Amino acid sequence: MLTDKFGRTHNYLRISLTDNCNFRCSYCMPDACHSFLPRNKLMNAGEIERISAEFIKLGVTKIRLTGGEPLLRKDFEEIINRLSKFPVELLLTTNGLLINKYLETIISAGISTVNVSLDSLNPETFFKITQHNRFHHVWNNILLLLKNNIRVKINTVAVKGYVENEIFDFINLTKELPLHVRFIEFMPFNGNKWNFTKVVTSESLLQLVTKEYDIVKLRDEPNATAKKFKVIGNEGTFAFITTMSNQFCSDCNRLRLTAEGKIKNCLFGKEEFDILSLHRNGKSIVDLIQQAVRNKQSAMGGQFEKGYEHTDASTIYNRSMVSIGG
């Protein structure tokens, strides 16, 4: 088992397949001229399989494929087929644009839950955020997933100036559709011009919701990042991911593997551990994996000790979100 010095067991691995994306959301990829990793720097399909196998031997039971946009990998089908043979829960996070192309692959791999990043239901606002006029295509792919009995979680970053205008529209989706909408507090990453005044807290959003709907609090799963609610009588649910205002680090069970094979033991951690180089040199990666877990800070990578309201984004050392992996 992968247990850190605070007694937290890590059984959930998020693997970024690429730092490239076909959208250009400013909170994730702030620089339109982002320089992407060359192919030889990325983990190839065989390396992803073999590295995943080592994590599984050490107790990982859940693997999520992320990016960038993971479906941009030309060998995505090969990767997912290799990983689907392992006795783990296999999950996917995507912007939804290419779901129709890979639907059969997703179904055959046994992926039962897909997270889709979607920050607006208004086509014009969607274009402003993503720089692509593809809202209707993404929405049709969400419906396609539901039609094939795949559980869909919509990840919506609570961007100030947008989320307040659309929160009711998102929650109304859950009336007749079995969607699970999650509002994620805006987080600081390299170049995304974050400051605490841009954070729309989950508490403030919940206050808006309770004035409009009769809701109930649902039981949260172990190690959950989302605090779940339901409008009484609705098919779906909604939730808040309170990364900034109410951290949930005490029972974190997650590790991240970047597209170039480096472990980040925390989304906000400064340290990275290069296991791909070890693997390519024919050396065991087990000790370095264990070291990465032991080095994990108690909360927020040790970079938000004064709380988000007293944090200067320029003092935070981290990558852009797209290069870490969603």
pTM of the shown model: 0.94
Would you state the pLDDT for residue 319? Answer: 77
Provide the token pair at 256.
Answer: 């991240």
Q: d(Cα 26, Cα 64) in Å, to the nearest integer?
A: 23
Would you state the pLDDT for residue 190? Answer: 74
Per residue in 210-254, pLDDT tens? Answer: 999 999 999 999 999 999 999 999 999 999 999 888 888 999 999
Residue ranges per domain, the chain?
12-324
CATH code for the part of the protein at 12-324: 3.20.20.70
Q: d(Cα 244, Cα 55) in Å, to the nearest integer?
A: 29
Would you state the pLDDT for residue 31? Answer: 65
Would you state the pLDDT for residue 161? Answer: 87
Question: Whose structure tokens read 């995943």?
Answer: 52
Per this entry, what is the length of the chain?
326
Cα distances (Å, whole numbers) of residue 31 to 34, 35, 211: 5, 9, 38
Residue ranges of the chain with per-residue pLDDT less than 70: 30-34, 191, 313-317
Per residue in 300-314, pLDDT tens? Answer: 888 777 777 777 766
